[in-house]
A and B are shown apart, each in its own frame.
Chain A
Amino acid sequence: MIVLLIVTVSSMATEYDPLLLKTQASIFPKIILLDKDVESKLESDKIVISIVYSENDFENAIRLKNLIEDSYKKNLANKVLLVRLVDFREFEKENIATAYYLMQGEPDVHKSITSHAGKNRRVCFSYNYKDFENNALISLLIKEKTYIYLNKSAVHAYDIKFNPMFYKIVKVLE
């Protein structure tokens, strides 16, 4: 049944690299903490990551959520880490998270979310670095080694001050 489910889902959903997901699940939460102003962005003293997904990516979103929770056991730097799954269609601008994670999706939708995140100076990760065109801020790619990408054109819009060393290890894309 699991196999059937996987096949079904996979036939409907966009493809996600599991290793990439796992790596992103491992790294992205930590990047949230590199925001120097992270304390003001907590939700009830909790770190909340909203994974925004499209309808057909629910399962990947679940998978990602599980990967994160498995990695951090709902605790990141002695703070409670909550991972929320938000459907693109149900995205509410009032529901502000500490950070956003964009699964693959429509550019316009992504643009509205990144705009929302940027206005609220929230980090917005994207599964695919190509979402930088939609003003996603950070993404990650595994090639011969792991690369963290930073969208240079969006940096000013987000107005987020990271740990300076963060800028040393990321690859900045124009």
Chain B
Amino acid sequence: MKKTSISIKITLAFLLVSVVTLLGLYFVFFYLFEQHMLEVEKDKAALIAQTIEPMIGMNHYLGMNEEIANIGQQIIKHKQVVGLAVTMGGEILWSSVENDSRDHIHVSYPIEDPVTSMVIGAIDLSYTMDSYNNAINDVKETLLYYFGMLSLVFALFAMFSRYSLSPLSKIATIVQRYQLGSDIDFSNVRLETETGAITDAFQRMVANIREYTVLLERYKHSVDESSIVSRTDLEGRITYVNDEFCRVSGYSRDELIGQKHFLIRHPDTPDSTYAELWATIKANRIWKSTLKNRRKDGSAYYVKATIVPILDESDAVIEYMGIQHDITQIIEQQERILRQATDMITGLPNRVKLEEDLKTVVSPKFAILNIDNYQIIKDYYGYDVGNQALQEVARILQVFLKNHNVTAYKLASGEFGLLAGDETIDIDFFYLICQHIVQKIEEHTVNILDNSFDFSVSIGVTHDERHLLTYAGLALKHAQDTRKSTILYESTENLIYHYENNLVWTKKIKLALKENRITVFVQPILSANELRVEKYECLVRMIDEDDNIISPFHFLEIAKQSKLYHQITRQVIDVSFAAFSKIDDVQFSINLTVDDLLHRETMEFLIKKITESSLASRLVLEIVESEGIETFVEISDAIHQFKKLGCKIAIDDFGTGYSNFSYLMQLNIDVIKIDGSLIKTIDTDKRSQIISTTIIDFSRQLELSTVAEFVHNESVLDYVRSIGIDYVQGYHLGEPVPIDVLLTDSIASN
């Protein structure tokens, strides 16, 4: 639609305002003037009546009525008075009416008695409206002339406006034809002060536009050089890509233009990412995120993308601009870091990540979880099973901890870390969580390959920020030592003392081994019937630097922890074989733990000793801590091998814990040593009596020998002999003595 020019608008507006104003003024003025004029005419007529009224009144009062007629005659001569009547007491005293067709007004004025002031009559006067009509006509005529003049002024004003504003039209035309980068020329425009200012402003604006255009070009160049830039239409078709885009994606510009961005979409990027992207930019908002794209050769590259909707003046989207930065190296680096911080078996963050996280966590609560006997499981079933066991525990931890703000880490072999960085989780609650974890894991039967495992775990918990890992480790150690599932590290001094003590004892053991102060004591085992010494049990003792005899109670567990245990075992074997090779016709037993049986070096040492000596038939291998040994094929094989060599196998401490008879048959053992805790109260405790009797009956049927340990008085001896025990052993019958003493006695007796 063609727009009306400003000059016409101004003129029309001026005309409209003027006409409305003048018409308003005309009607208001004319109405008021007319009314006023009418009133004036009435006043004039009234004034005439008022003027003659006193004289008429006075003349009438004095009875000079002829004078009233004279007055009437005088008045009627007035050119605008066309009628006059003087009425007294209701009778016309005098009247004169001219036959005049002119408009007139009628005025009646009362006549008062000059003495009493009472109304005694009236003057009725007819007055022509000639003056009024003439005045009105004069006003109308003047206004019409004025309007005519005003119309002329309007016309002149319109012409002047058009003339004055015509440069603006020319300026508008020039500006409309202006093209970016070209000059703008107003030389043909008639310039005055205002139009000059406008053209100057346009000139400056064009200069600014040119300046900004150059600047924008430089910005664009900078962005193109530093970023991956693309533009797409509203359907996502690529309309522009910069060189960097082509370089990174591997596509040429021709291959990209007109294609949808789907071309570079990597299949790993989920649909939800693109759904969110489109939802955001279609809502005219900027979308920012990291995208995994696909190069032409199929390889992946990562970009940090910012998608900006480009809006027109009415805020409608006209296209989308994507500015991306290639962060492939960063992402790959992050993945490498993540891999470094992730345990590859379980997928859990590892110790590196834990130490990193500990730097930022406030009021941490930390626990170390250890799978009991994990090393044995791994050694026995192999790494694959061990790894699967770790994965299973990790899975349980992740499932259980996902509802708590507790992170699980994979630490050393069979160990997991649990870190609560949430200040809302206090140590009591964290401890409770740990207890539940123990419960969850121990309730869970894990099936790996064809084997079922019921894991038990130990957990050490601490919230001491200074030495989280150390104290949690100490608490774990304490839990394992005390056979408790979960221990909260609280008594620092006790634990430190305990482990300092361990260190001291470790040093002592090492020194004792070095100085050959690990020695063997022997305790006699007598036949129950004849009470004759038939065997000796070899028992380890340590002689300290002051020649005190140290019970294994003080150092054996510590030796196990410090890997000195197997040296001690070998020392016992060595000393025992050396002694009993010099003592004839007596059996001797050596204690072996499951660790010993699974320890290749120790077993080879023992077999070598057996095969190099002729003591196999006199040797009884007492397997201590035998709980669960039936599950180990290696142990079964070892026992079989020892039996083949001629050795006898005894099971120590039978009758407590999870002892059962079935594995006795599986392992083909020869001797059962009933646990001392049953024997030492057997003379009084009914329960011990029943269990021991059952074991003896069963052994007899299996043709196994039985030994009662801890026979510490005559009453116990009598009772065990009464229920048919084969052998007896205990302080009542003979205390342990140094093996050298036995050897000396034997040599002496020989």
Contacts and interface: CB of A to CB of B under 8 A. Distances in A.
Interface of A: 26-27, 30-31, 33-34, 77, 145-146, 148, 163-166, 168-169
28 contacts: A27-B62, A27-B64, A30-B63, A30-B115, A33-B115, A34-B114, A34-B115, A77-B115, A77-B116, A145-B70, A146-B64, A146-B66, A148-B62, A163-B58, A163-B114, A163-B115, A164-B54, A165-B54, A165-B55, A165-B58, A165-B114, A166-B58, A166-B114, A168-B55, A169-B55, A169-B62, A169-B64, A169-B67
Given A30-B61, A146-B66, A148-B62, 20 more contacts: A30-B62, A30-B63, A30-B115, A31-B62, A33-B115, A77-B115, A77-B116, A145-B64, A145-B67, A145-B70, A146-B64, A148-B64, A163-B58, A164-B54, A165-B54, A165-B55, A165-B57, A168-B58, A169-B62, A169-B67
A97 to B, nearest CB: 20
A145 B62 contact: no
B59 interface: yes
A42 to B, nearest CB: 14
Contacts of A148: 62, 64
Nearest to A164: B54
A169 B52 CA distance: 11
Interface string B398-436: 000000000000000000000000000000000000000
Contact of A146 (B54, B67, B114): B67
A48 B746 CA distance: 203
The 8 closest A-B pairs by CB, nearest first: A165-B54, A165-B58, A33-B115, A27-B62, A169-B58, A163-B114, A146-B64, A26-B63
Given A33-B115, A163-B114, A163-B115, A169 B59 contact: yes
A148 B66 CA distance: 13
Contacts of B115: 30, 33-34, 77, 163
A164 B57 CA distance: 12
A152 to B, nearest CB: 19
Nearest to B54: A165
Contacts, number: 43
B70 to A, nearest CB: 7
A116 to B, nearest CB: 26
Interface string B40-81: 000000000000001101110111101100100000000000
Contacts of B62: 27, 30-31, 148, 169
B91 to A, nearest CB: 19
Pick the most buried of B57, B62, B66: most chain A CB atoms within 10 A of its CB.
B62
A27 B59 CA distance: 10
Contacts of B54: 164-165, 168
A168 B64 CA distance: 13
Contacts of B114: 34, 163, 165-166
Contacts of B70: 145
Contacts of A146: 64, 66-67
Contacts of B58: 163, 165-166, 168-169
Contacts of A31: 62
Contacts of A164: 54
A156 to B, nearest CB: 22
A150 B64 CA distance: 16
Interface string B135-156: 0000000000000000000000
A169 B62 CA distance: 10
Contacts of B55: 165, 168-169
Nearest to A145: B66
Contacts of A145: 64, 66-67, 70
Contacts of B67: 145-146, 169
Contacts of A33: 115
A31 B58 CA distance: 10
Interface in B573-611: none
Contacts of A77: 115-116
Nearest to B63: A26
Nearest to B116: A77
A31 B64 CA distance: 12
B62 to A, nearest CB: 5
Nearest to B71: A169
Contacts of A30: 61-63, 115
A161 B70 CA distance: 27
A27 B64 CA distance: 8
A165 B50 CA distance: 12
A160 to B, nearest CB: 15
Nearest to B61: A30
A163 B55 CA distance: 11
A141 B66 CA distance: 14
A33 B61 CA distance: 11
B295 to A, nearest CB: 126
Interface string B17-54: 00000000000000000000000000000000000001
A30 B58 CA distance: 10
B514 to A, nearest CB: 164
A7 B124 CA distance: 51
A170 to B, nearest CB: 9
A34 B61 CA distance: 10
Contacts of A27: 62-64
B707 to A, nearest CB: 172
A105 B54 CA distance: 35
Interface in B429-458: none
Nearest to A148: B62
A68 to B, nearest CB: 13
A6 B59 CA distance: 34
A73 B62 CA distance: 17
A146 B60 CA distance: 13
B546 to A, nearest CB: 165
Contacts of B57: 165
Interface string B104-126: 00000000001110000000000
A93 to B, nearest CB: 29
Contacts of B59: 169
Contacts of A34: 114-115
A22 to B, nearest CB: 11
A30 B64 CA distance: 12
Nearest to B67: A145
A98 to B, nearest CB: 15
Nearest to A78: B116
Nearest to B66: A145
Pick the most buried of B54, B55, B66: most chain A CB atoms within 10 A of its CB.
B54
Nearest to A31: B62
Nearest to B62: A27
Pick the most buried of B54, B57, B63, B114: most chain A CB atoms within 10 A of its CB.
B114
Contacts of A26: 63
Contacts of A165: 54-55, 57-58, 114
A77 B64 CA distance: 18
B466 to A, nearest CB: 128
Pick the most buried of A26, A31, A164, A168: most chain B CB atoms within 10 A of its CB.
A168
A148 B67 CA distance: 11
A164 B55 CA distance: 10
A145 B67 CA distance: 7
A94 B599 CA distance: 184
A78 B55 CA distance: 23
Pick the most buried of A27, A77, A165: most chain B CB atoms within 10 A of its CB.
A165
A163 B62 CA distance: 12
A104 to B, nearest CB: 23
B93 to A, nearest CB: 16
B56 to A, nearest CB: 10
B314 to A, nearest CB: 89
B609 to A, nearest CB: 175
Interface string B669-685: 00000000000000000
A145 B54 CA distance: 19
A33 B113 CA distance: 12
A165 B116 CA distance: 13
A26 B64 CA distance: 10
A114 to B, nearest CB: 22
A145 B74 CA distance: 15
Contacts of B66: 145-146
